[in-house]
Structure 1
Amino acid sequence: MSISRQNLSIVIVTFKSEGVIHECIKSIDKDIKIIVVENSNNHQFKNELEELYKNVSCVLSAENLGMGAGNNIGIRRVKTDFVLILNPDVILEKSTINELIIASQKISSFAILAPISSNINYPNYKLNNKTKIVIENEFPFKVRSIDGFAMLFNKKQLDKILNKNYFDENFFMYLENDDLCKRIIDAKEDIYIAPNSKIKHLGGKAVNIKYKDEVELARNWHWIWSKFYFNKKHNGYSVAFLKGFPKLFSSLIKYIFYSLIKNKIKQKIYLNRISGFFNAAINKKSWYRSQF
C-alpha cells in the first residue's frame, strides 16, 4: 500500500520548543493531521497550538518522558497506516511529502521510509558498510539506520514485527532510533531513504537556546548512558563496559584537569559523563533530567 495524505499522520514531540515548532508546523500541508506530544503539563502551549492550527491536536504527557516515550504516545494515537515522526526543529520543503508518496510507489514494501537531509555534509543515514555517503540516485535506497529527526513508519508493518513496541523507552535521549532500526533490520525488514524528498534539520534547536548549558549537561550524561545501554542490550555487559571504559578514563582525566583550572562548566560536563557511565554500569535507569 502506498502513502496518501488521507492515510498519513505526523507526530512531533516537543519540550520547551516554542521557538521552533511554528516554523515546523507551517511547513506541513494543512490537510495532514498532526499530533504534538508536549513532554510537560504546559496547558498554555497546548491551547495556543490548537487555536492556531486546525490540523493540530496536542497531548500533554505531564512530565518529560524523553523522545522515545513521547513518540510512542503519539504513534499509539494515530489512526492512519503511515506516520511521519519529526523533531520540532525540522522544516519540510514544499515537495517533501509528495516525494515520499512517489518513493513509496517505487518499492514493494518498507518498514521505514525517510526523507534525506538537505545538508549533504551531514547525511541522516548510515549504509550497511558503516559509512555515510550521499548517493546520487533518484530511486529509494536501502540503509542500515537513519537519524530519528525525520522517519516515516509503515505502522501496520511495524505493528506486525514489533508488536507495537516501537521505541525502547529506557532510552531518554540518544540511540533510541538506532535501537529501533537494528531491531527492524534483525527482523529482515527494510529501511529506505527517499533521495528526492528533502528536509532541513536546524540541529540542536528543539529546546530554547536559553537553556543551552543545562541541555549540554544532559546530552553528555545521556550519550554515555545510552551508549552503554545500547551495547549491553545488543552485545552483552562485558562488551558495553570494554567499549565505554576509554571514555570513562578520558573523562576522569579531563574532570581533574578542569577542576584544577576552575572551569566549572567543563568540570560539570565531564562529571556528568562519569555519572552516566557509572549509572549504566550498575544497571540504574536513565534518571538524569535537566534543571529548568
Structure 2
Amino acid sequence: MNYNQITVGIVTFRSENVIFNCLKSIKKIENIIILDNSNDEILKKKIKKKYPKIKIILSKKNLGYGAANNKIIRKSKTPFVFILSPDVALKKDCEKNMLKSINKLKNNFSIISPISQYKHYGYLDSDINETEGVQGFAMLVNKKKIMHYGMFDENIFLYAEELDLCKRLRLNNEKIFINKTAKVFHLGAKSTNIGFEFDKCRNWHWGWSKVYFEKKYFNIFLVYLKFSSLLFIQLLKIIFYIALLNKKEVINKSMRFSGALNSLLGRTSWYRPKFNFDR
C-alpha cells in the first residue's frame, strides 16, 4: 500500500479559522475531499486558490458530522479514508506511521486511529494496540469493512457517532487499533467559528446522542430510569445557575436538558445551529 490508497476526508462548518492549518499539516496524502456543511462559496474559493487539487463538496443542507463523512467515504476512490476534524493538525511522520500500520495489519482492521496530546487511551504498551473504540476527530477507516457494517448512523447529527460505529464493529468482531507512533494535535471544540451558538448546539446534541446511543444498545427500562434521574439533577443545576444569574450556564444546561429529553421522548435530532455569513 502507498499514500495513493488513502483519501483524507474533512467535514467543515464555518471552519475558515482552522482548516488551512489542518491542510498545511498534510504532507504526503494527495487525495483530499472536503465537505462543507455551511455551503460556504467564499471558503471554497479560498481553499481552491491555495490547493487547486482538493475536491470540495458544498452541501446546501447541514448534514451533520456522521452523514457528511458517509458522503465523503462514498465519493472516495481509495480503499482507506483518513477522517479528520478541521481543528486537527498532523504531527511529523503521522502519515508515514499510519501507512506503516495499514501495511503491517494487512487489511485485517476496520479502524486505525492516531493519538493526540490529550492521551485519551491511557497507557499503550506497543506501537499498535487493539482497542474497543476511538475518538472521531482522527480515524482512518477501511472503506470496504465500514460500508459493509453501515458506516455512521445518520440519525446522529453530532457526537457519539464514532462510539456507535465502533460498538457495531466490535459486536461483529471487527478490529480497531490505535497507533501511538502516529500523532496529531487537536484543538478541541474549535472546528467552527460561530461562537456561543456552537456551545448551544454541542450541549443539545451531546444530551440527545448520549441517550440515543444507550437506548440503542442497552436495556430500555434501565436507560429511562438512569436518564430520568439525570434530567432531574440537570434541572436542579439550571435552577442553581438561575439563582447565580449565570445566563451562559443556564442556557448550556437547558440545551443539554432539552436534547436528552427529546431523545428520551423518541424525537429526532432536530436542533441546528443558527448563523449568518457576515464577515
TM-score after normalising by structure 1: 0.89
CA distance in 2, matches of 1:19, 1:93: 19
Find the residue that maps to 1:19 and give its secondary structure: helix
- 1:160-175 residue pairs with structure 2 within 5 A? 160=148, 162=149, 165-175=150-160
Are the equivalent residues in 2 in contact too, given 1:231–1:239 (CA < 8 A)?
A: no
Hey, what does 1:235 align to over in structure 2?
218
Find the residue that maps to 1:285 and give its secondary structure: coil
The match for 2:39 among 38, 41, 44 is 41
CA distance in 2, matches of 1:272, 1:50: 37
Hey, what does 2:30 align to over in structure 1?
32
**1:69-121 Cα shifts (integer Å, max 9, x gaps):** 1111111100111110000011012311111111222224111111111x1xx
Gaps of 5+ in 1: 125-131
Hey, what does 1:137 align to over in structure 2?
126
Hey, what does 2:238 align to over in structure 1?
255
Displacement of 1:278 after TM fit?
1.7
The percentage of counterpart residues that share the same residue type is 41
Are the equivalent residues in 1 in contact too, given 2:6–2:29 (CA < 8 A)?
A: no
Are the equivalent residues in 2 in contact too, given 1:116–1:195 (CA < 8 A)?
A: yes
- 1:192 is the counterpart of 2:177: yes
Hey, what does 2:163 align to over in structure 1?
178
- 1:151-166 residue pairs with structure 2 within 5 A? 151-160=139-148, 162=149, 165-166=150-151
CA distance in 2, matches of 1:177, 1:31: 23
CA distance in 1, matches of 2:123, 2:20: 29
CA distance in 2, matches of 1:41, 1:185: 35
Amino acid of the residue matched to residue 213 of structure 2? F
CA distance in 2, matches of 1:18, 1:44: 10
CA distance in 1, matches of 2:64, 2:253: 22
CA distance in 2, matches of 1:157, 1:39: 26
- How many residue pairs align between the two structures? 274
- 1:54-203 residue pairs with structure 2 within 5 A? 54-108=52-106, 109-117=108-116, 119=117, 122-124=118-120, 132-138=121-127, 140-160=128-148, 162=149, 165-203=150-188
Find the residue that maps to 1:54 and give its secondary structure: coil
Hey, what does 1:5 align to over in structure 2?
3
Amino acid of the residue matched to residue 233 of structure 2? S
Moved over 6 A (4+): none
Find the residue that maps to 1:105 and give its secondary structure: helix
> What is the Cα-based RMSD across aligned positions, in Å?
1.5
The match for 2:201 among 207, 212, 218 is 218
Q: Against the structure 1 CA distance between its residues 279 and 63, is the aligned structure 2 distance closer, same or farther, given a 3 Å change threshold?
A: same
Amino acid of the residue matched to residue 188 of structure 1? N
Displacement of 1:30 after TM fit?
5.7
Are the equivalent residues in 2 in contact too, given 1:30–1:55 (CA < 8 A)?
A: no
Are the equivalent residues in 2 in contact too, given 1:248–1:273 (CA < 8 A)?
A: no
Displacement of 1:136 after TM fit?
4.0
Are the equivalent residues in 2 in contact too, given 1:170–1:285 (CA < 8 A)?
A: yes
Displacement of 1:31 after TM fit?
4.9
Amino acid of the residue matched to residue 111 of structure 2? I
TM-score after normalising by structure 2: 0.93
Find the residue that maps to 2:11 and give its secondary structure: strand
CA distance in 2, matches of 1:24, 1:45: 14
Find the residue that maps to 2:184 and give its secondary structure: strand
Are the equivalent residues in 2 in contact too, given 1:232–1:239 (CA < 8 A)?
A: no
Q: Against the structure 1 CA distance between its residues 199 and 36, is the aligned structure 2 distance closer, same or farther, given a 3 Å change threshold?
A: same
Q: Against the structure 1 CA distance between its residues 110 and 43, is the aligned structure 2 distance closer, same or farther, given a 3 Å change threshold?
A: same
My pick for the range that moved more, 59-68 or 243-252, is 243-252
CA distance in 2, matches of 1:262, 1:116: 40
CA distance in 2, matches of 1:50, 1:196: 32
Displacement of 1:251 after TM fit?
1.2
Hey, what does 1:290 align to over in structure 2?
273
CA distance in 2, matches of 1:215, 1:158: 29
Find the residue that maps to 2:227 and give its secondary structure: helix
CA distance in 1, matches of 2:147, 2:257: 37
Hey, what does 1:128 align to over in structure 2?
none
